[in-house]
Amino acid sequence: MATIPSSHLCLFFLLSLSLSLSLSSSSSESPQNFIIHVSQSQKPSLFSTHHHWYSSILRSLPPSPHPAKLIYTYSSVIHGFSVRLTPTQAAALRRIPTILSVLPDQIRYLHTTHTPRFLGLAESFGLWPNSDFADDVIIGVLDTGIWPERRSFSDAGLSPVPSSWKGTCETSRDFPSSLCNKKIIGAKAFYKGYESYLGGPIDESLESKSPRDTEGHGTHTASTAAGSVVANASLFHYAQGEARGMATKARIAAYKICWSQGCFDSDILAAMDQAVADGVHVISLSVGSSGYAPQYYHDSIAIGAFGAAQNGVVVSCSAGNSGPGPYTAVNIAPWILTVGASTIDREFPADVVLGDGRVFSGVSLYSGKNLPDFKLPLVYASDVGNRYCYLGSLQPSKVQGKIVVCDRGGNARVEKGSAVKLAGGLGLILANLEDSGEELLADAHLLAATMVGQTAGDKIKEYIRLSQYPTATIEFRGTVIGTSPSAPRVASFSSRGPNHLTPEILKPDVIAPGVNILAGWTGKVGPTDLDIDPRRVEFNIISGTSMSCPHVSGIAALLRKAYPKWSPAAIKSALITTAYNVDNSGNNLQDLGTGKESNPFIHGAGHVDPNRALNPGLVYDLDDNDYLAFLCSIGYDSKQIAVFNKQPASLNICETKLARTGRLTSPGNLNYPSFSVEFGSNNDLVTYKRVVTNVGSSADAVYNVKVNAPAGVEVSVSPSKLVFSAENKTQAFEVTFVQGIGSANSASFGSIEWVDGSHIVRSPIAVKWSNELSASM
């Protein structure tokens, strides 16, 4: 007797079920969203993809005036799909043998940038209410200007402009005074250095000479740091929800320093100077040098930041986007808060489905017409023109109607899609190379496109090479929040240490959200910032340490409001010693650049934790004299130091003033909240001194030390107990690092924690052996 295939039985069952239930369906039922878990392995063979199978299942359901609408398909965390159904249709699905579960789609909290929730910030407890959302704190954003009409800069509900504010709003034809309000309290453009470079005036037909942002970057960073609450924000319905900056009541002073050809030191210093004079409390600067960080005395940002810190201003800077190579971090002066970039738990999945059924995860913000409901021919750009898909480099006869795999690098990511589209292609798979690893950046592509990691890219290209008729499609799954992949992870592009100027100072300091961040955008250019993009949006999703920096700037503003007497160094210390080093799955932080476990040379102290920073217990404080002693300790002469202390070189600050106030025998003795040690052939023992100040609620706190020694290093702390009192709010200790017998000549990591039962004051330890250091340069 012949056996009926199980797939035929499944189809017969579906058809019978549809017929038997059709009479009972009610047009009065209200549809709702459901999550459908499916036994993926039971897909009938006649369906080429799970998407086709799911669509067939939905077509078999009882009729309804509200047709079942597939929302997403899932293939990694779960297997199945989400769909909008009537209760009767949902009941019908539950009777299908291959359906494992039908669950209502519960409504969760919606946060567009999502980073406040990811960071643990809440209306009812922690740093937000304890700082009154940084009301009256002024953040100076030095960037490309601001697009003031955006809802993110509404001043609804704000108190009057702080009486301490001394700045003004610069007015012009496209920036009337009415555009400033109680949120944007200052705006000024700095272009003289730029015009000097040009040898003439700015071409105002191409870029605005006013504070108006015609590029988008400044609007994004300003709204990330201190944007007001905006409901129903999104980019093409991606990341839809409520958008808000870190410090929603903080005031913004926008200083435009960057132009189409770059940001000039003269303009940057002028803006920093003006910002301090105007009375800002925090400077947010997502700008830095290219290549290795220059010597501090050659670094205008470091010099300007020193002066700002002298005036009590916190200076928060991006670490740079030159990762994953070592020694790439910039803005690494110890008086600067240096911020690297990490991911959050929100993805925009767009998966590649190959003709052989394999699925590779990707990401995309594409919002246009869907690809045909069948797989398309697949080609590698190297075989049809140029692997990087430069404009005009692809052969239309070999691209027409196909999906093209292009390698990342060489030109703008979205521009590659334009090249494919101009050649007649229908889709793009953007494949990472080794330097980008598994880092995935979502882009608002101009045609159906997705980005995949290096591993997936290599396998897709291998499939093309070995298959006679390679085909593929791309499935776009919208916005997904969850624990897979884990977060945070350090971005591949995030610049990292070791500190090539001063190995004894660990940089970057911390990491913060900087991948696929949604915030306000200019009305002048499209979301890709390319001339070929005609679209205009209110919000945009972009990535970079430029995005992580304003997150920390906003958090610093919250701490400034909560503790107005704290120094910039104390605020930095609170952020460093409360940072965390595990992801939301409980594992150690991972580095997307290497695919391996991250370490303090990559992520500094770890990921910022705003609520814990509100109550750090102890802080490592510093002032400008400490920083001058640091400059002396690294061998700077009086002339080099003069640019920082603004005193004649003849005074010889290292031999006069510091002889009275204290010298540092080593730059590692700077009272920094982290420990970076370099062993060399002539030194196998290093001792650092530190002083901590009790800022906790208990004046009589007692802290005991816990040492997590790096492999190959013996670490001792003296004393091992710190006893504070109302009279003795500060305590000193020494840490001795000894190279162990048979130590490997490589980097090693650990930590020192001071614990009192309520606080864990954690400082990372990074150890480097100098012969390995020099070999890597």
Q: Which residues are catalytic?
A: 143, 217, 546
Q: Give 701's strand partners.
A: none
Spatial distance between the Cα atoms of 519 and 538, rounded to a whole number of angstroms: 8
Phi and psi angles of residue 32, each rounded to the nearest 5 degrees, phi first: -150, 170
Residue closest to 769 by CA, chosen among 735, 737, 728: 737
Listing DSSP states for 138-206 in one string gives EEEEEES-B-TTSGGG--TTPPPPPTT----B--BTTB-GGG--SSEEEEEE--HHHHHHHTS---TTT
DSSP per-residue letters across 457-487: HHHHHHHHHH-SS-EEEEEE---EESSSS-S
- Classify 264 as helix, strand or coil: coil
Identify the sign of the CA torsion 731, 714, 328, 667.
Answer: positive
Asked if 544 and 517 touch (Cβ cutoff 8 Å), the reply is no
Distances (CA, A) of 528 to 149, 409, 411: 20, 16, 13
In angstroms, rounded to a whole number, what is the distance separating the alpha carbons of residues 707 and 53?
A: 56
Chain CA centroid to CA 447, Å: 25
Handedness of CA 593, 597, 599, 603 (dihedral sign): positive
Residue type, 226: A
Other residues' Cβ atoms within 10 Å of the Cβ of residue 243: 29
Chain-centroid distance of CA 625 in Å reads: 33
Write out the E strands in 348-492. 350-354, 359-360, 362-363, 376-380, 403-407, 427-431, 448-452, 471-476, 480-481, 489-490
Strand 748-755 versus strand 760-769 pairing type: antiparallel
Tokens of 344: 């959050």
Tell me which DSSP letter residue 284 carries: E
- In the chain, the amino acid numbered 591 is D
Q: Is 380 helix (H, G, I), strand (E, B) or coil?
A: strand
**Which tokens go with 449?**
């496109």
Q: Is 311 helix (H, G, I), strand (E, B) or coil?
A: coil
Cβ contact 249:279 at 8 Å:
no
